[in-house]
A = this chain, B = another copy of it.
Amino acid sequence: MEEEFLKVCRGEEEADLLLLGGLVVNVFTGEIAEHAVAVHGGRIAGFGERPAREVLDLKGAFLCPGFIDGHVHIESSMVTLPEFARAVVPRGTTAVVTDYHEIANVLGTEGLRYMMDLAEGLPLDALIMLPSCVPATPMETSGAVLEVEDLLPLREAPSVIGLGEMMNFPGVVHGDPSVMAKLEAFAGLPVDGHAPGLRGKELDAYLAAGVESDHECVDPEEAREKLEKGMYVYIREGSTAKNLESLLPLVDSRSADRFLLVTDDKQPEDLLVNGHLDAVLRRAVALGMDPVTALRLVTLSPARRFRLPGRGGIAPGWWADLVVLEDLRDFRALKVFKRGKLVAEKGEYLEPHRQGPPAPGAMKIAWERIPSLEIPAGGGRMRVIGVIPDQIVTESLLETPRVEKGLVLTDTERDILKACVFERHRGTGNLGMGMVRGMGLREGALASTVAHDSHNLVVVGVDDRDILLAARRVEAMGGGQVAVRGGEVIAELPLDVAGLMSTLPLEEVAARVRALREAAARLGCPLREPFMALSFLALPVIPELKMTDRGLFDVGSFRHVALFAD
């Protein structure tokens, strides 16, 4: 602590800034009281009036610590980190704890370095839980494999604070050596979990191995068990998964400091229209949560859980990450300070707008190894992936194929379309092909490089020409999403950062996502989120039948299966 700062604390030298007339939300005591707050050198110098170069009257507005999202994947916003910051900082978020699981699956440590470099100089701290499960599964080809040896050098980076969501819970429960090596390497640091539905003795084993948190609770009884067993429960309220209403009754005065409010995944339009943690806070209070408790769950609770010194509260010496709120119902941020600097005002971002550069090298499709998209007919019935609206699980159907000249054809009458997954990371030429029902296209094709968790290129279409055009167009953009009809691209979103994020502004990305959704509807797709359905077609850890770059995968029997069942 420099001498000058102590002088300012003692009131002997001028502070940079004195905030007067604010109602300080004290997350330590749970009380709200008017205090003058002095800020100097990016930190809180103290409570009470002091000489200052600048004095700002908050006129009875609420002064809170900046919000901390304890679990969010930046990639889901589909924009680069600076653009994400532009979206969330004016909403009051000054730090996120993020797990770059998606970009790591595509670009490995290079992707992590890309994100870490982008974080420099932003008014948003991006604190990193290193991805623990790259690849997420061995059933498909990912862009990278991160073993403990790959993680160890990154562990020392200043922004790295722990090990990210350990979704390989069977591996933990059964003591898989490569998983255990990672847990051991991060012993003593925060370790996040991901264990939907895991309970009882298996949960005990998962926790005994060192996992400390879960953000996948949907059911309150499951959450209660996890809470009782010492886990931090992150209540997730994202664009898709919304668990707040279900879990909120568990939060009482005795257990409140074991909970966090997090977003996990926020889609571009949702971020733009509804906001970030401010939206979660609004919802929590609308559902009856005490506002100061709700604020604590996005300030002091994450700061303590992740052992982030000097964050999550307003106290002498702590970082002056501050939000001025109009009220504790709408949580509209009138002003946001990052390390004492005014960085947003009335929703407007005051920092320079900048984009991340593209992250190329994410599209390596070995076309020379892919002679055609034809599927030769086999005997009997074929397996068809059955998409269920608004769900990420699928059905495994058996259908009689439409066959012409010995080839399996799509059949729009029965809504049986072709689904292809092109391996895009390593130029293996892997191409998984099969049939899908439920996407509803009557013409054209949809393609996307966002396809959890390995993010290969997934395309669903009515005819091979449009499927190929969609795939080629996505490749030309360096990754992305397209809708194609009759040999023409009718909507597209370049995702030139690893095929996951765009270097376009958030507004433009949101508009294009909307345009893509509308285009899909015009092609006949009845789903509300056609590209999300596309994305989850390729996720081989969620039941029942999925498509990977290595072909169909039956989750129930946990093995790849042939197209023809008989």
A223 → chain B closest CB, angstroms: 11
Check if A5 sits within 8 Å of B50, measured CB to CB: no
A322 CB to nearest chain B CB (Å): 14
Return the chain B residue nearest A174 by Cβ: B6
Q: How far does the Cβ of A157 sit from chain B's closest Cβ, in whole Å? A: 16
A258 contacts partner chain B, Cβ-Cβ < 8 Å? yes
Do A317 and B208 touch (CB < 8 A)? yes
Neighbouring B residues of A252 by C-beta, 8 Å:
30
Q: How far is the CA of A127 from the CA of B8 in the complex (A)?
A: 35
Q: List, in ascending order, chain B residues with CB within 8 A of A173's CB.
A: 6, 10
Say yes or no: A6 contacts B45, CB within 8 Å: no
Q: Does A238 contact B (CB under 8 A)?
A: no
- CB closest chain-B residue, reference A188: B309
> Using an 8 Å CB-CB cutoff, how does the interface string of A315-346 with B read, 1 for contact, 0 for none?
11110000000000000000000000000000
**Which of chain B's residues have a CB closer than 8 A to the CB of A350?**
none
- Judge whether A48 and B174 touch: CB under 8 Å: no
**Which residues from B are CB-within-8-Å of A48?**
200-201, 204
Looking at the assembled complex, report how far the CB atom of A317 sits from the nearest CB atom of chain B, in whole angstroms. 3
**1/0 per residue A1-16: CB within 8 Å of B?**
1010110011100000
Complexed CA–CA distance, A231 and B43 (Å): 16
* Chain B residue contacts of A43, Cβ below 8 A: 208
Task: List the B side residues contacting A292 at CB < 8 Å.
Answer: 254
Q: Are A10 and B257 interface neighbours, CB within 8 A? A: no
Residue A28 lies at the interface, judged by CB distance under 8 Å to chain B: yes
Question: Within the oligomer, what is the number of copies of this chain?
Answer: 2
Query: In the complex, which residues of chain B have a beta carbon less than 8 angstroms from the beta carbon of A46?
Result: 201, 203-205, 208
A316 touches B229 (CB 8 A): yes
Task: Give CA–CA (A315, B212) in the complex, Å.
Answer: 10
A254: nearest chain-B partner, CB-CB: B30
From residue A539, how far is it (CB to closest CB) to chain B in Å? 27
- Whether the Cβ atoms of B9 and A315 lie closer than 8 Å is no
Which residues of chain A in 104-161 are interfacial with respect to chain B, using CB atoms and an 8 Å cutoff? none
Given contacts A6-B175, A30-B252, A309-B188, A317 and B257 within 8 Å (CB-CB) = no
Tell whether, in the assembled complex, residue B209 and residue A1 are in contact, meaning their CB atoms are under 8 Å apart. yes
A207 to B9, CA, bound (A): 9
Cβ of A487 under 8 Å from chain B: no
Could you show 8 A-B contacts with beta carbons less than 8 Å apart?
A6-B174, A31-B228, A45-B208, A46-B204, A207-B317, A208-B317, A209-B317, A304-B304
- A26-B228, A28-B255, A210-B317 known; 20 new pairs, CB 8 Å cut-off, are A1-B183, A1-B208, A9-B204, A9-B208, A11-B201, A28-B227, A29-B254, A29-B255, A43-B208, A46-B203, A47-B228, A205-B316, A206-B316, A207-B315, A230-B314, A230-B315, A230-B316, A230-B318, A257-B257, A304-B304
Q: Which residues of chain A have a CB within 8 Å of any CB of chain B?
A: 1, 3, 5-6, 9-11, 26, 28-31, 43-48, 50, 173-175, 180, 183-184, 188, 200-210, 224, 227-230, 252-258, 292-293, 304, 307, 309, 313-318
